[in-house]
Amino acid sequence: MNFVPHSYPFFIGNEKEILFQYLEKEYIGYSDKLNEKIKDSLSDFFKYEHIFFTPSASLSLLLILKMIKKIKSTKNEIIISSINCWSVYNTIKSETFFPIIADVRDVMDFRSSYENIVNKITKNTIAIIITHMFGVFVEEKIIKKLKQNYPDLIIIEDFSTSFMGQNDLGNYSDFGIVSFGSTKPISAGCGGALLSNYDMFDEHYDDYIKTKLTFNVKTSIFEQLLLLNQLKNLDLIKEMRKKLLYFYKNFVNIYNPLNLDLFRIIIFKTRNKKELKDLENFLSTYDIKLDKRESVQPNFSKKLKYRNLFNSFNFKEYYSLPNNFLLFKLLKEKGLIDE
């Protein structure tokens, strides 16, 4: 039986040939030319003044926090949503800030609301991290309202699982982070982006500049080549994911089904248990077995026993289904989705 793993990074188009060309040159360094092309491509989506390609989103966040520390403020609290990645929580702790956990909107919505965020703001708050989870964005009007009502707070947007279909992102935040890891919407195998409205880095690594960071964020040419090619083929990736989403919708009620760029295909166990079984039975007749993941992101309310965060603590169990090229290829070969 063809087993489809939940997360499956893949080559697109002629990526193998592109990589082999550089292997023949025996060069595995870094290309300024490719980096500029990546920045130009990302600038089509993000409205930040500066874009830096980095080894990971976690490192991007770490560098942002180090930049915030240069303010030398006595404030030390950073608000994050309760359903989030452990690396966000741990990175905040590593820089001796305190992560303050905000509740999600309700028991069937991963996002935090304006009210839930504002309820966590204190005199010690220095920043808010807005997490756009699984391709479902926190509305821009919320970010705008936070910036207008709390202009002294630093706003960081996390696009790590929600970068693909939307343009004109980051209009009301100070920083942003993106991941291009192996399980993300588009992948360079690893890598990330740091988005900033501040010129953060000094190129002279031996100089100490009080208002800038001196840190080498370069990656190898292979990550650069893979990312650039995935960005060039973004329409193909989006179309593949859209067709998979429509296929799933024939069987299950998908979280926020109006969004065609879902990074994860999320279904809630309480209302879809029978539907999920019907899907499994249907696919088994075609010798296809799905790798289902339950609760694929940490829920800090439960992990840290924050019972006062009612919606998060009582968040319904959910399944996350594969949304990758391997499943698309199998369904297409078996005539289960259209060209």
Say yes or no: 24 and 165 in one domain: yes
Domain end call among 201, 232, 263: 232
Is residue 259 situated within a structural domain? yes
Residues 6+ apart with CB under 8 A from 162: 132, 133, 134, 135, 136, 137, 185, 261, 263
179 beta partners: 192
Least reliable range by pLDDT among 82-96, 166-180, 256-270, 286-300: 256-270
Say yes or no: 28 and 152 in one domain: yes
Nearest to 319 by CA among 269, 279, 281: 269
93 compared with 318, residue with greater pLDDT: 93
The letter for the amino acid at 337 is I
The letter for the amino acid at 30 is Y
Q: Which long-range contacts (CB under 8 A, 24 or more apart) does 205-213 make?
A: 210/70, 211/70, 213/63, 213/66, 213/67
Query: Average model confidence (pLDDT) for the chain?
Result: 90
Please determine, for residue 11, whether its predicted confidence score (pLDDT) is greater than 90: no
Please determine, for residue 38, whether its predicted confidence score (pLDDT) is greater than 90: yes
The answer for 335, left when phi > 0, alpha when psi is -120 to 50, beta otherwise, is: left
Say yes or no: 203 and 71 in one domain: yes
180 compared with 209, residue with greater pLDDT: 180
Please determine, for residue 262, whether its predicted confidence score (pLDDT) is greater than 80: no
DSSP secondary structure code for residue 138 in this structure: P
Is residue 339 situated within a structural domain? no
**DSSP E strand boundaries for the chain:** 2-4, 50-54, 77-81, 98-102, 125-131, 154-158, 175-179, 192-196, 265-268, 288-290, 293-294, 318-321
Domain end call among 232, 266, 288: 232
pLDDT in tens, 303-328: 999 999 999 999 888 899 998 889 99
Say yes or no: 44 and 171 in one domain: yes
pLDDT band at 128 (very low <50, low <70, confident <90, very high): very high
Say yes or no: 60 and 181 in one domain: yes
pLDDT band at 330 (very low <50, low <70, confident <90, very high): very high
Mean pLDDT computed over 197-207:
77
Provide the pLDDT for residue 165: 64
Is residue 93 situated within a structural domain? yes
Nearest to 99 by CA among 317, 306, 314, 311: 306
Provide the pLDDT for residue 77: 98
Provide the pLDDT for residue 196: 97
What is the Cα Rg of the chain in Å? 21
pLDDT band at 338 (very low <50, low <70, confident <90, very high): confident
Whether the Cβ atoms of residue 256 and residue 64 lie closer than 8 Å to each other: no
104 compared with 202, residue with greater pLDDT: 104
The rounded distance, in Å, linking the Cα atoms of 224 and 232 is 12
Say yes or no: 218 and 96 in one domain: yes
Is residue 256 situated within a structural domain? yes
Q: Using alpha carbons, list the distances in angstroms from residue 252 to 50, 247, 274, 281, 319.
A: 41, 9, 9, 13, 11
Whether the Cβ atoms of residue 113 and residue 311 lie closer than 8 Å to each other: no
Please determine, for residue 208, whether its predicted confidence score (pLDDT) is greater than 70: no
Provide the pLDDT for residue 206: 60
Say yes or no: 112 and 205 in one domain: yes
In this prediction the pTM is 0.93
Please determine, for residue 2, whether its predicted confidence score (pLDDT) is greater than 80: yes
Please determine, for residue 260, whether its predicted confidence score (pLDDT) is greater than 80: no
pLDDT band at 157 (very low <50, low <70, confident <90, very high): very high
Say yes or no: 199 and 227 in one domain: yes
Is residue 85 situated within a structural domain? yes
The rounded distance, in Å, linking the Cα atoms of 80 and 102 is 6
Residue 150 belongs to domain with CATH number = 3.40.640.10
Please determine, for residue 209, whether its predicted confidence score (pLDDT) is greater than 80: no
pLDDT in tens, 138-154: 999 999 999 999 999 99
Say yes or no: 128 and 187 in one domain: yes
Say yes or no: 65 and 181 in one domain: yes
Is residue 275 situated within a structural domain? yes
67 compared with 317, residue with greater pLDDT: 67
Whether the Cβ atoms of residue 284 and residue 2 lie closer than 8 Å to each other: no
Mean pLDDT computed over 208-231:
84
The rounded distance, in Å, linking the Cα atoms of 48 and 39 is 11
Helix, strand, or coil (residue 121) = coil
Residues 6+ apart with CB under 8 A from 16: none
Domain end call among 203, 232, 261: 232
166 compared with 73, residue with greater pLDDT: 73
Mean pLDDT computed over 25-33:
84
Please give the structure tokens belonging to residue 275. Answer: 């539907």
Is residue 338 situated within a structural domain? no
* Paired sense of beta strands 175-179 and 154-158, if any: parallel
The highest-confidence range among 22-36, 148-162, 178-192, 292-306, by mean pLDDT, is 148-162
The rounded distance, in Å, linking the Cα atoms of 12 and 232 is 10
The number of distinct structural domains making up the chain is 2
Mean pLDDT computed over 103-119:
94
Is residue 193 situated within a structural domain? yes
Say yes or no: 224 and 243 in one domain: no
Q: Which domain holds residue 258?
A: 2-7+234-333
The rounded distance, in Å, linking the Cα atoms of 27 and 21 is 10
Say yes or no: 214 and 241 in one domain: no
Please determine, for residue 286, whether its predicted confidence score (pLDDT) is greater than 70: yes
